Amino acid sequence: MTDDAGIWIVAGLMLVTAVGIAGFWLTWFRSEHDEDWLPEGYVDHEAPFVFSDSVLAILLVVAAVLLLLEEPIGERLALVAGGMLGFLGILDAAYFWRTGLFARDRDGIANLGVVIGVLAMSVILLVRFV
pLDDT digits (tens, 9 = 90+) for 66-112: 999 999 999 999 999 999 999 999 999 999 999 999 999 998 999 99
Of 103, 122, 104, 102, the closest CA to residue 112 belongs to: 102
**Can you tell me the distance from the alpha carbon of 19 to that of 67, in angstroms, rounded to the nearest whole number?**
18
Of 120, 8, 122, 15, the closest CA to residue 68 belongs to: 8
The domain spans of the chain are 5-129
pLDDT digits (tens, 9 = 90+) for 34-58: 999 999 999 999 999 999 999 999 9
Q: Which long-range contacts (CB under 8 A, 24 or more apart) does 39-45 make?
A: 39/99, 39/100, 39/101, 42/99, 45/95
pLDDT at 87: 97
**Can you tell me the distance from the alpha carbon of 123 to that of 129, in angstroms, rounded to the nearest whole number?**
10
H or E segment and range at residue 68: helix 49-68
Q: What is the pTM of this model?
A: 0.91
**Can you tell me the distance from the alpha carbon of 96 to that of 62, in angstroms, rounded to the nearest whole number?**
30
